Structure 1
Amino acid sequence: MPQILLTGASGRLGTHLRHWFTARGRAFLATDIISAPDDAPVEIADLADRAAVDRLMARDISAVIHFGGMSKEAGWDTILHANIMGSYNIFESARKAGVPRVIFASSYHAQGMYPTDETPIALTDPYRPDSLYGVSKAFGETLSRLYFDKFGIECLAIRICTAGQPGTTREARLWFNRDDMASLVDHALDTPNLGHRTLFGISNNPNAFFLTPPDPAFGWVPTHSALELGTPDPRDPLDPADPRNPLVGGIFTQWGHFDDEDPR
């Protein structure tokens, strides 16, 4: 029976997707480098291990949701293996196995060095990564473009914003409701002729830092807004004394190189 391969299935977003798919009867194969916190069945595999990825991809996979890898800043070796080699292995293994579609978890940190007073930032604005993590997401997006243009693998790259509970006005402007996220992934799996698309993973928040133009051919829009949270309110001004606020990437822009002894 065809099934979706979900990488990063033990993480917070991967766990939400597992529960979402299970509730809707969608068949999937969950994988991660660590066990799931809720003890759900998850195949343990290192995405930097090409042979391990090939074994997963050979199990009647119809599409890949690639949410695996390092989800924050780290030293170069960690980013290289988890995010760059891992993403390459996913796309190349999918090509060899004839898997036609990949949903890629990118990040707004690929554009994190833009000033907050120059927002909203468009999808077409140049990359300005705030970290090696952000660089790895820009790499994954351009890799996906190659594999679509040259090998026909359809892809949606989602520049995920703040998918946790916001604690500041800045985070409220970046908020991405997890049900909005899951419905976007669902839509990308089911829509015919996905092609190659990039979208910001962000809910319908006032003063949002990022803008995805309407795409009638794709037909997905977020249904949630940070206003439903009450507080913090995305309409409030940003605190000028908070060093996280001048640049979109927040604290990522304040850290040094993680291979130094004390980057923070």
Structure 2
Amino acid sequence: MPSGTVIETEARDAAAADAVRPRHVAIIMDGNGRWATSHGLPRFEGHRRGAEAVRRTVTAARELGIEALTIYSFSSENWSRPEEEIGQLMGLLKRFIRSDLKELHANNVRLRIIGEGHPTDPEVQGLLDEAETLTRANTGVTLTVAFNYGSRNEIARAAQSFARQVAAGTLRPEDITPERFDEALDTAGLPPLDLVIRTSGEQRLSNFLLWQAAYAELVFLPVFWPDFDRAWLERALAEYGRRERRFGGVDANGR
């Protein structure tokens, strides 16, 4: 039976999470391969178990009232992985959409894809487009899947768009404000990013939502992604609830 101190700590954590709930949470789902290695299993099994963790996390986010959940599914750098592993990852993505899309839609989840897509696999792109179209009018949690996504590329694409408008004389350079830049990014229309969670114990952003994370809270968890569940999500939310967000300002005590 847990001690009184443990019970009190858990109660404080729950209260902190409930007091300040982030609207937009992003997750770097790291550690599938290391999880598999630690269990003496092939890397593919780690990715398969990682897909199950995605299902658990989407359900938990919906039940906990999170407005937007963004997950790092496949980075633009991941194409450098072995061809066999890429094929396995694409197969998992296809199966996830085919098997889960109906349930996501029934639960009022809106699915959104950000990134550049990949022309060499039109089947994947077609499934992603179908999922977005089917769930576009849903009003529950927005699940944003970053697929073939890289934040520096995203920022460069936005800058190129502004440069073309300036060259065409339809935009003045002084009109390019941070707010306008927000609207040119893949995440336009989503709530401001409040919390970034990374699993596996690594402590870096890995080219994920660099602009959006300017004032987000970062929580790094010592758990491989396949073991991530609602309890770990609540732990991250509790940590977020304990943070004092000043956005570059000072608190009432001048700190």
**Fold match, TM over 0.5?**
no
**Largest Rg, 1 or 2:** 2
Q: Higher relative contact order by CA 8 Å / sep ≥ 6: 1 or 2? A: 2
Q: TM-score, normalised by structure 1?
A: 0.30
Higher helix fraction (1 or 2): 2
Q: TM-score, normalised by structure 2?
A: 0.30
